[in-house]
Amino acid sequence: MTELARKIVAGVGGADNIVSLMHCATRLRFKLKDESKAQAEVLKKTPGIIMVVESGGQFQVVIGNHVADVFLAVNSVAGLDEKAQQAPENDDKGNLLNRFVYVISGIFTPLIGLMAATGILKGMLALALTFQWTTEQSGTYLILFSASDALFWFFPIILGYTAG
* Active-site residue flag, 24: yes
Q: Which residues have C-beta within 8 Å of that of residue 84, sequence separation ≥ 6?
A: 18, 19, 20, 21, 75, 78
Query: Quick check: 43 and 32 in contact, CB under 8 A?
Result: no
Q: Which of 2, 3, 14, 24 is catalytic?
A: 24
* DSSP summary character for residue 78: H
Rounded to whole angstroms, how far apart are CA atoms 20 and 58? 10
Rounded to whole angstroms, how far apart are CA atoms 3 and 17? 19
Query: Quick check: 121 and 144 in contact, CB under 8 A?
Result: yes
Rounded to whole angstroms, how far apart are CA atoms 51 and 149? 48
Residues identified as active-site: 24
